[in-house]
Amino acid sequence: MASEPSRRALHPGFNTGNERIAVALPPGGTLVGVPATGPDAALSHTRGWLYVKLGWWRKRGTLALSGRRIGGGARRVIAEVGPLPSYGAPAGEFFPSALYFQKPGCWKITATAGGARLDVVVRVTKA
């Protein structure tokens, strides 16, 4: 059920997306979450949730992320996103994200920026 990586290079280092938004997904689109506790639980209400980092690229606009569990039964994804030019991408193109999932399962993540949209489906498992 996870999104399959694109068969063509979208942007160096990013394997899933389109010409305006792309993400670096692990093989098979399976994200292995770690418990959001200690320093990784930046938001107090994320304790016990699963925490995953993902890198995003966008051509222009402000990147925003949202998500929901397919089949319901959980709160929406909590996403913290910020530009970080020190990763070798031109300033403002690379966006690291911290995603918090309430429980394992299949999740649909939606990225928007500059009028573009990308939907990916990932499988979230526990470490």
The total number of residues shown for the chain amounts to 127
Topology, domain 16-126:
Immunoglobulin-like (2.60.40)
Summarize the chain as % helix, strand, coil (round to 5): 10, 45, 45
Q: Quote the CA–CA distance of 95 and 89 in Å, as a whole number.
A: 10
Spatial neighbors of 24 by CB under 8 A, at least 6 apart, are 13, 14, 15, 16, 54, 55, 56
Interval 28-85: pLDDT, tens:
899 999 887 665 555 556 677 898 999 998 888 889 999 999 998 888 999 988 765 5
* Cβ 4 vs Cβ 119: under 8 Å: no
- Model-level pTM? 0.82
Interval 110-126: pLDDT, tens:
999 999 999 999 999 99
Q: Quote the CA–CA distance of 17 and 66 in Å, as a whole number.
A: 16
